[in-house]
Amino acid sequence: MPPSWKRRQRLKRRASPGDAVAGLAERARRSCGVGCQPARRLRRAWCAIFVGGLLILAACTAPVAAQRAVPESNAQIQLSFAPVVRIAAPAVVNIYSRRVVTTAGSPLFNDPFFRRFFGENFSFGAPRQRVQNSLGSGVIVSPDGTIVTNHHVVGGADEITVVLADKREFAAKLLGSDEHSDLAVLKVDTGGESLPYIEFRDSDTVQVGDLVLAIGNPFGVGQTVTSGIVSAQARTAVGISDLNFFIQTDAAINPGNSGGALIDMSGRLIGINTAIYSQSGGSIGIGFAVPSNMVHSVVASFSGGGRRLQRPWLGAWGRPVTSDVAQALGLRRPTGVLIEEVAEDGPAERAGIRVGDVILGVNDQSVDDPQALLYRIATLGAASSADVELWRKGEDRRVTLPVRAAPEDPPRNAIDLQGVQPLSGATVANLSPALADELGSERFYRGVVVLSVAPGSNADQIGLQRGDRILSVNGEDVSSSSGLRKQVGRRAQHWQIIVGRGDQRFNLVFGD
């Protein structure tokens, strides 16, 4: 007996969505016969196309859902970073440094008033000495025992000990240390034995989102591996060192990781872990590493036997391009460095770079700000020239920049200033492009610069700092370090000294 009309409706409602779609398609196909009216045929044809599209979409999305599946083999369950760690971990070392620190006595007894009555050899409140230890990590980058670490791990150390992953200990020799990139290069005597090492990878090929591992010795607990991704590239507004250009990662980095390795999934070195952003002292997922291209450049320079790092010199200075400047110059977006000063006979002038040009890139690598430009120039290494992209008068231009080190002209002629006068305890030298680069100066100034200040000395008490320029003494301009020594060697009742610090000037006045 055929079901009633209501019964048929219930059966239809219980039909599966697939049956409904198939039935709709079949009805659309049958209704498009020859006897159909044109409007009805068109309407039902569109309906058939719509239903067919739904069927195609379902077929396309089915494989995506099928990709999310339970592991089907023991090998899939046991996937890990262990093979990569096994390659790289033996080349990551612990570094222990030791130095004797001299603490000044009471500054009261360094006052010229007391010196006048008790003499220059007065020793009451004499400086005391104490031993300061430091812990960090390092990376073997050559089988002959060349190791790279951070400058702040070994800077000023009297003794450096390197402990390998297999617990062997070596006394290390400091080949060179660069405060501006916060990198130092060590060497251990292996007795002819080849040590495990990590190969460099071009850090410009690293992309945000790449998986990375950080290896080091956090808090001195022993060698530790953490994983994460590259969170950002080309971080320049960090303020960690003079050459601000870092790889940012969320791999856990803590005190003791400094100088350790940041590696890719092939076990190659992409950076040296340097610093973290933290309010508590522990990792919160924001760590920074010096890119391997900078590391390779520093290692190559110090491995050649030179104690002083000589970087390529641009011979030009500028400022970031703001939105207003970009609009005025016809740039599509605010990027590059607007050149404001060009050194006479420097590489930039020889390349034809002028004041008002905007440097957009170096060797096809974009430049967004002055820090990025300094990094690109510093990593040119032993290249003889570089291709520089400029924006000038609304047009893109390319020039060839000759690569050469900053000249030390005039010679620095470092002098220690002594005697009963305000600058006593300061070491000064003649400024040159090479010395300005060594001091991390963004511009090249001429004259006499302060190289160091002895703790507790007169120069320290008046606030003199490394990098300050002595412009004049008692109304006489200072032109050389030897001339400054003569000027402060004259006895005077009153002293007026003008000091330059960056673009600022300070007028210091002293008297009895």
DSSP 43: H
Of 176, 151, 161, residue with least CA distance to 96 = 161
Q: Residue 222: its pLDDT value, please?
A: 87
Residues in the chain, overall count: 512
Using an 8 Å Cβ cutoff, are 288 and 230 in contact? no
Residue 32: burial class (beta carbons within 10 Å; 0-12, 13-18, 19+) = middle
Q: Residue 289: its pLDDT value, please?
A: 93
Q: How many CA atoms lie within 13 A of 258 on its CB side?
A: 23
* Catalytic pick among 97, 151, 152, 241: 152
Using an 8 Å Cβ cutoff, are 281 and 376 in contact? no
Q: Residue 281: its pLDDT value, please?
A: 67
* Catalytic pick among 97, 137, 178, 182: 182
Backbone φ and ψ for 76, nearest 5 degrees, come out as -65, -35
Using an 8 Å Cβ cutoff, are 222 and 233 in contact? no
**Residue 449: beta bridge partners?**
429, 469
The segments of the chain whose pLDDT lies below 50 read 1, 3-22, 24-36, 61-66, 114
258 is known as an active-site residue: yes
What's the longest Cα–Cα distance across the chain? 131
Task: Quick: pLDDT tens for 467-496.
Answer: 999 999 999 999 999 999 999 998 888 899
Q: Residue 15: its pLDDT value, please?
A: 44
DSSP 277: -
Q: Residue 7: its pLDDT value, please?
A: 45
Using an 8 Å Cβ cutoff, are 250 and 277 in contact? no
Helix ranges restricted to H, 109-230: 112-118, 151-154
* Catalytic pick among 258, 301, 441, 481: 258
Q: 473: which 2 tokens?
A: 């003494």
Torsion of CA 243, 246, 252, 255, to 10 degrees: 0
b/e map of 494-504 (b: 16 or more CB within 10 Å)?
Answer: ebebbbbeeee
Task: Quick: pLDDT tens for 285-302.
Answer: 888 999 999 999 999 988
182 is known as an active-site residue: yes
Amino acid sitting at position 120: E
Of 262, 275, 258, residue with least CA distance to 226 = 262
Neighbours of 341 (CB within 10 A): 12
Is the preceding omega at residue 2 within 30 degrees of 0, hence cis? Answer: no
